[in-house]
A and B are shown apart, each in its own frame.
Chain A
């Protein structure tokens, strides 16, 4: 796939009534279209058969530890930010069959499933979510071993991005350079304006689909309102994470007293890792049938906040909440750089919104950073212990 630059990308206009055409075209191509829909009082991702399934006229109100749906005063289809779901549930499913074992007369027949992956068309992928996919590509496809499930699903997926036109107080994508603008990594990208959608083409597959829709070149007035709508999202972003030297800041402060302070609030509930679009920890479990002659090896999402996650030789390595919170945050913001060449955080704010006690990682980083700038704070100079013994 090539990513045309913004300047040479011709922008089309899709009328509001034609959105169903796009959904139908994708379905006709054999894609299972998934997109935002309202379920259990949240905007989540699910199967979409028409534009009527979208959260038309609804928005989300988010704060640390708080998420509410609210009526909008218009009929916007994508007038919300992000909910608890991310697209990883389709590319890296919560439960996957990775291998099977069947008892034979002489031993075990060991196999891996060779099923055709579902072909998903994702409708409504935000800029931060495109970044999350790029990050998970590195995790599952960039190492010495490739995850077959992710690889097949990712290769088959069609991506319709939708630019944000508003931001939540929990958003900080501008700090992570991941958004809000969708600039690459999509087949089609939409920007919702009053009477329809501006449409950019990001790939040849996107081009083929767009050619079958009743679209016309966008007028300069439409382009102008698209710019204004996207700028509104930028202007609304209030949260910031100072990422300057963040890897060394955190790794030089592994013994900082602030970890214990966070641990006094953290419930170790795993919510932040479940809603995070990049968290990839998992465990494989044995699922035998009643006879024990057939065994499924099922991989399920796991979390570094679960105490058993680090269990070894009779006890967990990370027995305390402070060590588990430290593992999560230092992995996400620091060691991810060593492992995958980027931050593991895209600034979507889900971990802040869905934390039951409203822990805000940007504030926790700021607390450690400010103690560095203020040597009177206890623990600020403890990084000197890190080389103890190497004399």
Chain B
């Protein structure tokens, strides 16, 4: 009665002790929280791939899944861009620098940066969907010579909802074409107005058949971005979406994050579009 088990070296329920090293307001209701490991050996060992997420734990309040938004090559801290949505994120947002919390991770699938080599890449972000794309942007720009044309389309409801605006110029200088559009403008806004799909519709694509799209944002936005990409000649096998469901354990054991046959925590959150296409538009799945 001793079934063979693929032993994982650590108890997956054990959280690492981390401390807040920086807190910054980002956009209304969104803050950036940098964390450092208490144990330098853990810090040494910890690596993540762009698109993965951590479980952040406030004892007594609970655990939440938050995508990592820092550069994967940055070793001194891990950054999370967090929208205040529930009691854990609200309490986290009020913690001062130096506060202690727990972290388990990294978990989940990552953006296909290997597949991007030698190809053009379009990144499409809606609102806070830019956060899990930021590590991919850092990685692509750190190895800029490996890739063809790089385009980033960022959409937000309002100009005040745009994340990381101070980094846009540096990204452009490093060889990323940044296109920004908002749903509703104010009098200070001089950029584009409309949806990300409008920008994608007009984007110059020199070789659609050799272009990848990575998208993260509201599910409905990703759906229309995907349809537009297919209309523009990208193949369904070259489109990647980042999905979101309730996450509880993050290790594929609790059942919460199921989406059809997928466990979002271990099979996702990032999926090749054609692998989830048949269930994406099924209501309440």
Contacts and interface: CB of A to CB of B under 8 A. Distances in A.
A191 interface: no
Contacts of A323: 283-285
Counting chain B CB atoms within 10 Å of each CB, which of A98, A147, A159, A281 scores highest? A147
A388 interface: yes
A150 to B, nearest CB: 9
A144 interface: yes
Contact of B253 (A1, A139, A295): A139
A258 to B, nearest CB: 15
Interface residues of B, number: 56
A390 B236 contact: yes
Interface string A115-149: 00000000000000000001001011111111110
Counting chain A CB atoms within 10 Å of each CB, which of B1, B14, B57, B283 scores highest? B1
A387 B1 contact: no
Given A99-B14, A390-B277, A141 B230 contact: no
A361 interface: no
Interface stretch (A6-14, A216-224, A314-322): A314-322
Nearest to B224: A389
Q: How large is the interface on A (under 10, 10 to 19, 20 to 34, 35 or more residues)?
A: 35 or more
Given A317-B284, A323-B284, A154 B266 contact: no
A315 to B, nearest CB: 11
B256 interface: yes
B85 A313 contact: yes
B6 A304 contact: no
A151 B5 contact: yes
Contacts of B252: 143-145
B178 interface: no
Given A292-B60, A314-B85, A146 B8 contact: yes
Contacts of A282: 248-249, 253-255
A283 interface: yes
Contacts of A98: 13
Counting chain B CB atoms within 10 Å of each CB, which of A322, A331, A387, A389 scores highest? A389
Interface string B26-59: 0000000000001000000000000000000101
Interface stretch (A22-30, A61-69, A102-110): A102-110
A335 B258 contact: yes
A236 to B, nearest CB: 29
Contacts of A283: 248, 254, 256
A141 B281 contact: no
Contacts of B15: 99, 101, 110
Given A106-B100, A203-B1, A319-B284, A309 B256 contact: yes
Contacts of A85: none
A183 B94 CA distance: 59
A207 interface: no
Contacts of A147: 12, 253
B99 to A, nearest CB: 8
Contact of A107 (B38, B258, B285): B38
B142 interface: no
Nearest to A148: B11
B22 interface: no
A251 B260 contact: yes
B244 A331 contact: no
Contact of B60 (A151, A288, A319, A322): A288
Given A146-B12, A282-B254, A327-B285, A309 B230 contact: no
B245 interface: yes
A122 to B, nearest CB: 9
Contacts of A310: 245-246, 256
B266 A143 contact: yes
A247 to B, nearest CB: 9
Contact of B14 (A111, A139, A286, A387): A111
A148 B100 contact: no
A158 interface: yes
Contacts of A134: 3
Given A284-B248, A295-B59, A323-B285, A108 B13 contact: no
A187 interface: yes
A339 interface: yes
B221 interface: no
23 contacts: A1-B2, A99-B13, A101-B15, A103-B59, A106-B100, A108-B101, A110-B57, A110-B59, A148-B11, A154-B1, A155-B1, A251-B260, A282-B253, A282-B254, A310-B245, A317-B245, A322-B284, A323-B284, A327-B285, A331-B258, A334-B261, A339-B261, A386-B282
Given A142-B6, A159-B1, A295-B59, 18 more contacts: A99-B13, A99-B15, A101-B15, A107-B17, A108-B59, A108-B100, A112-B14, A141-B6, A144-B8, A203-B1, A251-B260, A280-B255, A284-B248, A286-B62, A302-B255, A317-B245, A318-B285, A389-B223
Interface of B: 1-8, 11-17, 19, 38, 57, 59-63, 85, 100-102, 223, 227, 230, 236, 244-246, 248-249, 251-256, 258, 260-261, 263, 266, 274, 277-279, 281-285
Rank and list the top 8 A-B pairs by shortest CB-CB distance, nearest first.
A107-B100, A338-B261, A281-B255, A323-B284, A101-B59, A145-B251, A335-B261, A141-B5
